Structure 1
Amino acid sequence: MDGQNQSPTLDQLKKAIPPECFVSSLTTSLLYLVRDVIYATVLVALALQIDSIPSQSLRVVAWTLYMFAQGCVGTGIWILGHECGHGAFSKYEKVNDFLGWLTHSSLLVPYFSWKITHARHHRYTGHITKDAVFVPETEDDLKNHNVSRFNQLLDMAEETSIVTILRLLQHQLMGWQLYLIFNLTAGKQSLPNGEKLEPRRDMSHFTMSSKLFLPSQKILVAISDLGLLLTLGSLWLAAQHLGYQKVALLYFGPYLWVHHWLGKTFLALPLLARALTITPSVAITYLHHTHPDVPHYTDEAWTYTKGALGTIDRSVGFIGRHFFHEIIDYHVVHHLFPRIPFYHAEEATKAILPLLGSQYVEAKEEWFMQSLFSTFKSCQYVAEKKGAQSSKGDGKLFWVIKGRSD
């Protein structure tokens, strides 16, 4: 099969993967979860001793290292909850949902609310109007509705590095929270009932009246909110015993690191450009779905398999393999078959590579943070390439990069 011209079918890809890759083990998954909980517990125990260090400078270094390390562990726990949401943690749905609710609630993530919209994202990955997240702006939208911003984006690649870094830092600190509250970055037709997306309407992951959910799903939103309230209550009780500053260092410092790795949004930045809105998500989720060579698709051209193949395998070395359960390294196969457990993802990926050919995109040779910086700076909007004999393209929308002629 010519990977350049024809996509393999989903059935062909599934048949190429050993059947055992689709089998999840509750015991194996629980062992990973127990391991991560032990890591988190040991780190907290060590952090409680930091104030006994006589040097203030060393205390600052110790807290910084703790927050980074605990953030990596917390990200791994979030990923295990993510496995639960896909039914890949075990074959027992109720066990998956209970553990997913428990782990995500402990990280202030509304589990069921996220699970519902995340499933919609997987169903329509790469669709320019129906994908629930990671939907870039198109050239036509910018020209029709925001000409001044379009002109700004044409010059984006010439910004100084310090401006890009400042924009990226603001975006990292608030992205995930704004996504949960406002559902920003969603496609225009991504609502479950087919209504047109209207930003001024209730699009929160926290409210039962939100347009993101069907009436039958309201109880799940309430259960998600209950988990958050229990976590916040536990943090308040801990603050009564340890003090608010200590709890902020122990929990909210790592919390920012977790959502640095995982967050996503469509974030306005009034401090840097009052009229400028930037569109990408951040870190893991952003780089899984943003690459100059990976297209989005119009409704006429999109298929589930094309959309799933429009994701990118990347790497952050040991941290990604050990703490992040290789979700970064083998994300393409996860989008094709989300019920494959993460510990079978490498074997499944190797099995389908001969069928994918050049359609498989990986960027593992790039330094992860360098990729984040350069991609964030250059990938701002998408456009359809026009044919030599026609003004109409083939339904593929590629990122427009200034200075790139292909």
Structure 2
Amino acid sequence: MADTHEEDLPTFEPLPWSIKQIRDAIPPHLFVRDTPKGLYYLARDLLLASLVWKAGTFIDPFFRSDDVRTMMSPGASHILRWFAWCLYWWFQGLIFTGLWVIGHECGHSAFSSHRSVNDSIGFVLHSLLWTPYFSWRISHHRHHRNHASMERDEVYVPKTRSDLGIPKAPAQDIDWEHYLGDTPVYTLYMLIRQQLLAFPAYLLWNVSGQKNYPRGTNHFLPNSILFTRDQAPLVMASNAGLIATAYLLRSASLRWGAAAVLKYYGIPWLLVTHWFIMITFLHHTDPELPHYRGKTWTFQRGAAATVDRNFLGWQGRFFLHDVAHFHVIHHFFPKMPFYHGPEATEYLKAFIGDHYHYSEKPVFQALWDSYNQCQFVEDEGEILFYKDRRGRAVRKPAAVSARATSCDALGEHDTRSLALDPTSPKDLVA
């Protein structure tokens, strides 16, 4: 329901170009995958993880030694020991996340032009980081194929007014506190819960996933609605990878102790889930980004409904392989290697102009703001923008007559891309 304040909002026109036109604006060499270069980044990350791991083995012996305790005092050495562990967890968490990103590249066949290389490396990396490689790859490809579609997207599907039980009435007549008025402390609790548990909850119970899926939808049952009958062996292989990881961790716990496994591996892994959820949430959740219904949605409009962010500055660029800094180009061309993202983004920005979204806002502030400002979308309308805790949007769609339908915007190349099997190694548009 439109309110008076919406009359003064900036008007949004949906992206008018076909994916072929956008692709043609980017030099062909940026789509080339270089297997040796991908292996270099993999080796670099593994070396960094090993060095940080080795450094971690000196923390307890050093700070618990009699000489250090005498020199610093027991209290100071205890505080500095835990500070050193925090440094270990921070950097090892980032390095592990970078390895997870390489597995994600493999899932898109962006790591190598050889499918066996992609699947071998991706399967091992994701299994060791508690991600069912093939199962998640299937649903993640479907997310890319349908991003920002209210009816078909796989994850971060907005809640609607009716989902939250908010009545259709003028904004000034609604008790917003009753429906959305969480206290800052409760909001902080919900954010922490989201950051640490959202990915396992999505895999296990489809939390934040497509609302049209039946209860019990998850990534571990071969007969889940997420998969076809032919994909059942891939689901079982993914499960086997996680079982192998569980066996390795049990063996490590029996040999070195559960506390050691938790310190060296468990907490960095928990930070992987945090960084991954924070990155993806901020990519797809912002009051400036549209969602679409029906034929107004196209693949390229969904790809443009993402935002690049300056995520942790140089640390995000180095350790996370630019996954957050150059995500928009990834949604347009998922098979493009991450190391071509910076250059390709410049060509994309020059071509699509204001349809490219970028934010310099500090990411923890952005997380808080997006969580509070992106509460729901309306039950009606073809182009939708999030509304905040007072029912206010920051943009409004142009008149229906000014919009192109999917048939207007899609060329022959685009139509083929939408029909791809989500498990295919072929790119959505390449």
Name the TM-score, length of structure 1 as normaliser: 0.85
| Equivalent runs, 1:345-364 vs 2, <5 Å | 345-363=341-359
In the alignment, the residues of structure 1 paired with residue 179 and residue 353 of structure 2 have an alpha-carbon distance, to the nearest angstrom, of 33
In the alignment, the residues of structure 1 paired with residue 254 and residue 274 of structure 2 have an alpha-carbon distance, to the nearest angstrom, of 28
Match for 1:181 among 204, 217, 232?
204
Measured on the aligned residues, the alpha-carbon RMSD in Å equals 2.2
Report the counterpart of residue 275 of structure 1 in structure 2.
none
**CA drift at 1:48:** 1.4
Tell me, yes or no, if structure 1 residue 298 matches structure 2 residue 293.
yes
- Deviation per residue, 1:230-252 (Å, 9 max, x gap): 11111111112211101011111
SS in 1 for 2:207: coil
Q: Which amino acid aligns with 1:256?
A: L
Tell me, yes or no, if structure 1 residue 38 matches structure 2 residue 47.
yes
In the alignment, the residues of structure 1 paired with residue 274 and residue 305 of structure 2 have an alpha-carbon distance, to the nearest angstrom, of 23
Q: Kindly, what percent of the aligned residue pairs are identical?
A: 38
Report the counterpart of residue 38 of structure 2 in structure 1.
29
Match for 2:100 among 78, 82, 89?
78
Q: Which amino acid aligns with 1:11?
A: K
Q: Which amino acid aligns with 2:324?
A: I
**CA drift at 1:152:** 7.8
Report the counterpart of residue 155 of structure 2 in structure 1.
133
Name the TM-score, length of structure 2 as normaliser: 0.80
| Equivalent runs, 1:4-403 vs 2, <5 Å | 4=13, 6-52=15-61, 53-54=63-64, 55-143=77-165, 159-188=182-211, 196-199=212-215, 201=216, 203-263=217-277, 283-316=278-311, 317-363=313-359, 365-383=360-378, 393=381, 395-402=382-389
- Deviation per residue, 1:328-371 (Å, 9 max, x gap): 011111000101000001111101212211111111x2001110
* Unaligned segments of structure 2, at least 5 residues: 1-11, 65-76, 395-430
**Count of matched residue pairs:** 364
Q: Judge conservation of contact 2:33–2:336 (CA < 8 Å) in 1.
A: yes
Q: Which amino acid aligns with 2:149?
A: H
In the alignment, the residues of structure 2 paired with residue 146 and residue 245 of structure 1 have an alpha-carbon distance, to the nearest angstrom, of 53
Q: Judge conservation of contact 1:24–1:88 (CA < 8 Å) in 2.
A: yes
Q: Which amino acid aligns with 2:280?
A: T
Seen in structure 2, the aligned counterparts of structure 1 residues 26 and 58 have a Cα distance that, compared at 3 Å, is same
- Deviation per residue, 1:281-339 (Å, 9 max, x gap): xx100000011111110023111111110011111211211011001011111000101
**CA drift at 1:213:** 1.0
Q: Judge conservation of contact 2:56–2:85 (CA < 8 Å) in 1.
A: yes
SS in 2 for 1:171: helix
In the alignment, the residues of structure 1 paired with residue 306 and residue 190 of structure 2 have an alpha-carbon distance, to the nearest angstrom, of 24
Seen in structure 2, the aligned counterparts of structure 1 residues 405 and 308 have a Cα distance that, compared at 3 Å, is closer
In the alignment, the residues of structure 1 paired with residue 81 and residue 27 of structure 2 have an alpha-carbon distance, to the nearest angstrom, of 50
In the alignment, the residues of structure 1 paired with residue 221 and residue 20 of structure 2 have an alpha-carbon distance, to the nearest angstrom, of 38
Seen in structure 2, the aligned counterparts of structure 1 residues 350 and 239 have a Cα distance that, compared at 3 Å, is same
Q: Which amino acid aligns with 2:248?
A: S
- Deviation per residue, 1:108-144 (Å, 9 max, x gap): 1100000000000000000001001110111233338
Q: Judge conservation of contact 1:8–1:355 (CA < 8 Å) in 2.
A: no
**CA drift at 1:5:** 6.0
**CA drift at 1:402:** 4.0
In the alignment, the residues of structure 1 paired with residue 14 and residue 160 of structure 2 have an alpha-carbon distance, to the nearest angstrom, of 25
* Unaligned segments of structure 1, at least 5 residues: 189-195, 264-282, 385-391
Q: Which amino acid aligns with 2:235?
A: V
Q: Judge conservation of contact 2:166–2:179 (CA < 8 Å) in 1.
A: no
Report the counterpart of residue 192 of structure 1 in structure 2.
none
In the alignment, the residues of structure 2 paired with residue 92 and residue 397 of structure 1 have an alpha-carbon distance, to the nearest angstrom, of 40
In the alignment, the residues of structure 2 paired with residue 156 and residue 71 of structure 1 have an alpha-carbon distance, to the nearest angstrom, of 37
Q: Judge conservation of contact 1:157–1:377 (CA < 8 Å) in 2.
A: no
Q: Which amino acid aligns with 2:28?
A: P
Q: Which amino acid aligns with 2:207?
A: L
**CA drift at 1:157:** 7.1
SS in 2 for 1:397: strand
Q: Judge conservation of contact 1:4–1:358 (CA < 8 Å) in 2.
A: no
Q: Which amino acid aligns with 2:314?
A: F
- Deviation per residue, 1:213-260 (Å, 9 max, x gap): 111111111111111111111111111221110101111100110000
